[in-house]
């Protein structure tokens, strides 16, 4: 049985006073006045008050012991996680405005800082693809298509018809502005550079950089695409990408000079934090240093107007306002022929931003030569690395020391330290593990970042002020994500046994489950471990393989059956990679849902409203079959592989007050797009890695209808009211 810490003495002031008064007749029977006015009673109440205070302090001993044990184990509290966002700047300055790394931004009272250096140009951008189309064409369009095909030296039958699909207008509207190059005729993404002043001189960009922000589509991860976590520090490199800019010069020596394709110039990639357009980040492109080559960059127009937008030219722009502001076209593709994934947003003048502040240099104190010295930083909730120097007496100068996670691998002379991020403390080594600053050696922190918390998860457009850069505007086209509060002291005390058992290492099934759930900033509310499970070979055991199923707390598209995005899966992978055994093959996978439908017929007790009871029965069934806490049969979500059994659902529904009995309960599951009812038994079997998704629940008075069907609302009483349709006017 579990060990419970008892309350040592829980007597209150009143109980102590009454107990003392009850002893008076035993020891002093001549004392007969027990009223509050008696001086002796006043003394008894005084001693009862003092005794209650002593008991309160005495009862803190168990909590104090646990906290001391937590400190003895050197298990720090988990710090707050900082939210991150992609921001884009704007300016009207012709020569651009530099925004260095660490520039301050604000979203109301929440502070952000930039993680990338960006030069803000007076440009905006619209991403586009040449989307393949098969729609029926009218006679005039067919005639134009025939002329264009002839101009390009082809035929109508061989032509690939497309329409220019623009994105990045409003990525947060329903449906978004998602661009999927897989549906294009060439698999390329184009970027139209737009300016308010079309006479701008592009030669000013010679040798300069343009920062392009990319947000891949936040699609749910798929079980079929699961890959083993690559291991700490061994993430595969991103696929090669080729960026080009269009010139106004036609390709020399073309067979049809009037419809020749333009010359595209390759651009050097100065930096890429997107891993080849696979992750949210920034690509920095460097323009040619030769002003003469820059002067040839522009909007290409072929001599034959019928060839406009065909061949290897940029997409056709039919919007006059966009065409009037267009100054140049960029495009990106994979030189190996691979496809580019769908994109939610892409734009220019972008930088990554983090919910943090930069701390100034701090003098921390002097060494004492004692082991385990601890010094406090000015700010708690430390993010990233702390730059720390010690003025060593022998060296006669400031010597930089190295931050490590722990002292296990440190030798007696290694200049290392660890940081308690949550408390903002720096701790040095002890005797055999890590050198201690000697007596009189001064210690300073060159700088660090601090911040984090759930307040940083602001919506799109909330980051709207730049505090350190003038003459610019700023906004975040997508919401900030990843912020999380610091671990509470109560949670830390409750997790002492688990922390003592795993010591931040994933070995057992429970280790993987708990570590995945507490991944900082991932927002995981439930995690389950499948031992010896390879998602590509689910029917057989795979030695050394461990699969961790994770559920996010929110899913805008699937609120009742949440699925993690690819970014969340990668984040959990990185957290587990640093803690797993080197021989363990870890997969982080999304939950697999089996769609089920439930139909219930009810009979309501007299005196209760049918609609209220029906609503409560539906709510109880939805919560009982929910996959995430605090719902499910045991409050932790529906267990993996547990079958959906009809009598179990009946027992859950019968707990609703006012329900007389169930007239029937029917369950169906979706098989290849069709609903199949399970009759004998009323049961839906699930695989060991599956949970149910309640696609439909119908609760009616009387006999239940077939699961998966919804009764149509009753028609209105009386004749319909005719309403005139507005006439179309040409």
| pLDDT tens digits, one per residue of 426-481 | 999 988 889 999 999 999 999 999 999 989 999 999 999 999 999 999 999 989 98
Q: Of residues 4 and 648, which shows the higher confidence score?
A: 648
Which residue, 273, 434, 253, 284, is CA-closest to 349? 284
Cβ neighbours of residue 304 closer than 8 Å, sequence gap 6 or more: 151, 256, 258, 259
Q: Among 157-171, 212-226, 612-626, whose mean pLDDT is lowest?
A: 157-171
State yes or no: pLDDT of 58 exceeds 70. Answer: no
Task: Provide the residue range defining the domain that includes 324.
Answer: 122-219+238-348
Task: With a cut of 80, say whether residue 487 has pLDDT above it.
Answer: yes
- Residue 34: name the closest of 108, 175, 2, 43 by CA: 43
Same domain, 136 and 173: yes
- Work out the average pLDDT over 550-566: 89
Same domain, 543 and 441: no
Angle, vertex CA 373, rays to CA 368 and CA 374, nearest 5: 125
Q: Are 426 and 557 within one domain?
A: no
Q: pLDDT at residue 719 above 60? A: no
Is 152 within the bounds of a domain? yes
Asked which of 314, 348, 382 is the last residue of a domain, the reply is: 348
Rounded Cα distance, 193 and 329, in Å: 6
* Domain co-membership, 243 together with 324: yes
552 is a domain residue: yes
Please list, in sequence order, all residues whose beta carbon lies within 8 angstroms of the beta carbon of residue 73, skipping any fewer than 6 positions away.
496, 499, 500
Q: Please write the tens of the pLDDT for every residue from 137-180.
A: 555 565 566 656 655 556 555 566 788 888 856 676 655 668 88
Query: To the nearest whole number, what is the mean pLDDT of the chain?
Result: 85
What pLDDT is stored for residue 155 in this prediction?
Answer: 57
By mean pLDDT, which of 10-14, 57-61, 76-80, 432-436 is the weakest?
Answer: 57-61
Domain annotation covers residue 472? no
Residues 249, 364 within the same domain = no
Residue 290 pLDDT > 70, yes or no? yes
Q: Is residue 559 part of a domain?
A: yes
pTM over 0.85: no
Q: Is 192 within a domain? A: yes
Domain boundary among 313, 348, 383: 348
Please tell me the predicted confidence (pLDDT) of residue 349: 95
Say if residue 471 is exposed, middle or buried (CB neighbours under 10 Å; 0-12, 13-18, 19+).
exposed
Structure tokens at 201: 């001189």
Residues 185 and 201 in one domain: yes
The yes-or-no verdict on residue 623 having pLDDT over 60 is yes
pLDDT band at residue 712 using 50, 70 and 90 as cut-offs: very low
Considering the domain architecture, whether residues 39 and 126 belong to the same structural domain is answered as no
The pLDDT of residue 98:
94
- CATH number, domain of 532, equals 3.30.300
20: its two tokens? 């003392």
CA separation (Å) from 236 to 227, 230, 423?
12, 7, 35
Of residues 645, 652, 637, the one with CA closest to residue 685 = 645
Same domain? For 524 and 562 the reply is yes
> Is residue 382 domain-resident?
yes
> Is 80 exceeded by the pLDDT of residue 1?
no
Q: What is the mean pLDDT of residues 572-584?
A: 90
How many domains, the chain?
5
Say yes or no to pLDDT of 640 above 50.
yes
User: What band does 199 get if pLDDT is binned at 50, 70 and 90?
Assistant: low
Q: Are residues 330 and 258 in the same domain?
A: yes
Mean pLDDT of 234-244: 81
The tokens for 26 are 């035993």
pLDDT at 256 over 80: no
Please give the share of the chain, as a percent, with pLDDT higher than 90.
48
**In the predicted structure, residue 353 carries a pLDDT above the cut 90:** yes
Q: Is-contact 142 148, C-beta < 8 A?
A: no
The answer to whether residue 724 scores a pLDDT higher than 50 is no
Confidence of residue 237 (pLDDT cuts 50, 70, 90): confident
Q: Other C-beta atoms within 10 Å of 439: how many? A: 11
Print the SS3 string covering 495-559.
CHHHHHHHCCCECCHHHHHHHHHCCCCCCEEEEEEEECCECCECCCCCCCEEEEEEEECCCCCCC
Residue 417 within any structural domain of the chain: yes
Position 730 scores a pLDDT of 45
Provide the 8-state DSSP code for 258.
G
Q: What is the mean pLDDT of residues 54-60?
A: 71
Q: Are residues 136 and 165 in the same domain?
A: yes
Res. 397: pLDDT tops 90: no
Q: What is the CA radius of gyration of the chain?
A: 34
- What does the alpha-carbon distance between residue 189 and residue 340 come to, in Å, rounded to a whole number? 8
User: Which of 22, 38, 59 is the last residue before a domain boundary?
Assistant: 59
User: Is residue 304 included in any domain, yes or no?
Assistant: yes
**Higher-pLDDT residue of 449, 66:** 449
Is the same domain home to 148 and 202?
A: yes
pLDDT for position 223: 85
Do residues 322 and 335 both lie within one domain?
Answer: yes
- d(Cα 575, Cα 505) in Å, to the nearest integer? 11
């Amino acid at each position: 049985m579990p060990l419970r810490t008892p309350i040592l003495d829980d007597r209150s002031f009143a109980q102590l006073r009454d107990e003392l008064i009850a002893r008076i007749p035993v020891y002093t029977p001549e004392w007969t006045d027990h009223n509050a006015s008696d001086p002796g009673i006043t003394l008894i109440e005084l001693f009862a008050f003092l005794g209650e205070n002593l008991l309160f302090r005495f009862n803190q001993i168990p909590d104090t012991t646990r906290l001391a044990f937590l400190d003895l184990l050197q298990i720090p509290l988990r710090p707050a996680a900082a939210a991150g966002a992609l921001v884009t700047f704007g300016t009207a300055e012709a020569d651009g405005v530099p925004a260095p790394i660490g520039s301050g931004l604000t979203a109301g009272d929440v502070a952000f800082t930039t993680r990338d250096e960006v030069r803000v140009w007076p440009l905006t951008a619209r991403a586009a693809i040449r989307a393949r189309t098969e729609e029926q064409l009218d006679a005039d369009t067919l005639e134009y298509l025939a002329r264009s095909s002839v101009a390009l030296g082809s035929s109508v039958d061989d032509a690939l018809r497309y329409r220019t699909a623009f994105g990045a207008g409003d990525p947060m509207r329903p449906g978004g502005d998602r661009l999927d190059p897989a549906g294009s005729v060439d698999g390329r993404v184009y970027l139209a550079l737009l300016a308010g002043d079309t006479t701008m001189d592009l030669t000013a960009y010679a040798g300069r950089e343009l920062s392009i922000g990319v947000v891949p589509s936040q699609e749910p991860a798929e079980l079929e695409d699961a890959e083993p976590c690559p291991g700490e520090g061994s993430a595969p490199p991103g696929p090669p990408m080729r960026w080009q800019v269009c010139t106004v010069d036609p390709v020399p020596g073309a067979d049809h000079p009037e419809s020749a394709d333009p010359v595209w110039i390759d651009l050097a990639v100065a930096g890429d934090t997107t891993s080849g357009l696979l992750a949210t980040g920034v690509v920095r492109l460097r323009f040619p240093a030769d002003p003469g080559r820059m002067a040839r960059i522009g909007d290409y127009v072929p001599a034959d107007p019928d060839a406009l937008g065909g061949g290897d030219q940029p997409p056709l722009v039919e919007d006059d306002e966009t065409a009037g502001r267009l100054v140049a076209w960029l495009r990106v593709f994979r030189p190996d022929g691979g496809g580019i994934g769908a994109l939610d947003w892409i734009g220019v003048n972008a930088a990554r931003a983090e919910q943090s502040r930069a701390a100034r240099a701090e003098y921390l104190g002097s060494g004492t030569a004692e082991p385990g010295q601890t010094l406090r930083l000015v700010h708690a909730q430390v993010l990233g690395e702390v730059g720390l120097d010690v003025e060593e007496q022998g060296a006669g100068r400031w010597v930089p020391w190295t931050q490590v996670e722990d002292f296990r691998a440190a030798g007696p002379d290694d200049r290392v330290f660890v940081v308690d991020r949550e408390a903002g403390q720096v701790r040095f080594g002890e005797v055999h593990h890590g050198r201690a600053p000697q007596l009189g050696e001064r210690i300073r922190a060159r700088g660090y970042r601090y911040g984090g918390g759930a307040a940083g998860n602001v919506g799109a457009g909330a980051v709207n002020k730049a505090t350190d850069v003038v003459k610019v505007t700023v906004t975040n086209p997508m919401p900030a994500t990843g912020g999380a509060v610091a671990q509470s002291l109560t949670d830390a005390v409750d997790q002492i046994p688990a922390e003592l058992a795993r010591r931040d290492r994933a070995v057992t099934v429970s280790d993987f489950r708990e570590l995945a759930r507490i991944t900082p900033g991932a927002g995981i509310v439930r995690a389950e471990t499948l031992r010896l499970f390879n998602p590509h070979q689910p029917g057989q055991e795979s030695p050394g393989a461990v699969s961790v199923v994770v559920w996010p707390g929110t899913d805008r598209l699937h609120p009742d059956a949440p699925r993690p995005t690819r970014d969340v899966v990668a984040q959990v992978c990185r957290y587990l990679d640093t803690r797993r055994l080197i021989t363990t093959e870890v997969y982080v996978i999304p939950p697999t849902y089996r769609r089920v439908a439930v139909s219930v017929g009810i009979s309501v007790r007299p005196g209760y409203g049918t609609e209220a009871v029906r609503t409560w029965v539906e709510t109880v069934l939805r919560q009982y079959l929910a996959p995430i806490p605090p719902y499910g049969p045991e409050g932790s979500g529906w267990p993996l592989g547990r079958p959906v059994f009809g009598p179990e659902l009946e027992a859950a529904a019968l707990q609703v007050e006012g329900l007389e009995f169930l007239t029937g309960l029917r369950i169906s599951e979706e098989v290849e797009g069709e609903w199949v009812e399970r009759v004998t038994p009323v049961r839906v079997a699930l695989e060991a890695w599956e949970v149910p998704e309640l696609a439909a629940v119908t609760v009616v008075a009387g006999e239940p209808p077939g699961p998966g069907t919804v009764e149509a609302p009753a028609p209105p009483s009386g004749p319909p009211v005719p309403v005139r349709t507005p006439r179309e006017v040409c």
